[in-house]
Amino acid sequence: MTWQKTPPTAGSMIRVESGSIHHYGVYVSDREVIQFGLAPILRPGQKDSDVTVLSTDLVAFLNGGACETAVFTPEETATHPTPENAVSTARSRMGERGYHILYNNCEHFASECVTGKHYSAQVDGVREMFKELLRKKTNS
């Protein structure tokens, strides 16, 4: 998978830079992007327990940022749900709670809807960074 600044289509996984991280959602149309909570910078002080799967329009999702669309190889796409199923899954989860920054965040949500896999590359990157720091500390 790569990320490109190309127009999304229904069922696309999209993201926008939000401070030092990315915020993810499932694109349905310019009037509907389904996401697990608003980007963190748009919900200061909100408790994780209050974060829900919700829908906004694309302008609100982007909050002035640039939209990036996930582009998958044909081999990757062959194992994914159809775009229609991705949208249906995202819509069926509206109002869902259970947000957790490490185990159930907006990237996990969008990835699960679009690819069928509960995955967050951002979280994996942070985990690898901490593992490397621990390795360096133990080898010092």
Please state, in angstroms and rounded to a whole number, the distance separating the CA atoms of residues 123 and 73. 22
User: How confident is the model at residue 103, as a pLDDT?
Assistant: 94
Please state, in angstroms and rounded to a whole number, the distance separating the CA atoms of residues 39 and 90. 17
Beta bridge partners, 21, equal: 18
Per-residue pLDDT reduced to its tens digit, 16-75:
999 889 999 999 999 999 999 999 889 989 999 999 999 999 999 999 999 999 999 999
Q: What is the three-state SS of 82-135?
A: CHHHHHHHHHHCCCCCCCECCCECHHHHHHHHHHCCCCCHHHHHHHHHHHHHHH
C-alpha distances (whole Å) from 64 to each of 16, 18, 42, 49, 67 are 9, 10, 12, 27, 9
Beta strand 53-56 with 68-71 is: unpaired
Please state, in angstroms and rounded to a whole number, the distance separating the CA atoms of residues 25 and 58. 10
C-alpha distances (whole Å) from 85 to each of 90, 91, 93 are 8, 10, 12
User: How confident is the model at residue 135, as a pLDDT?
Assistant: 81
pLDDT at 11 over 80: yes
Between 132 and 55, the higher pLDDT residue:
55
C-alpha distances (whole Å) from 63 to each of 83, 88, 95, 125, 128 are 25, 25, 21, 25, 30
Does the domain made of 2-139 have the CATH classification 3.90.1720.10? yes
Please state, in angstroms and rounded to a whole number, the distance separating the CA atoms of residues 17 and 63. 10
User: How confident is the model at residue 96, as a pLDDT?
Assistant: 98
Please state, in angstroms and rounded to a whole number, the distance separating the CA atoms of residues 49 and 109. 16
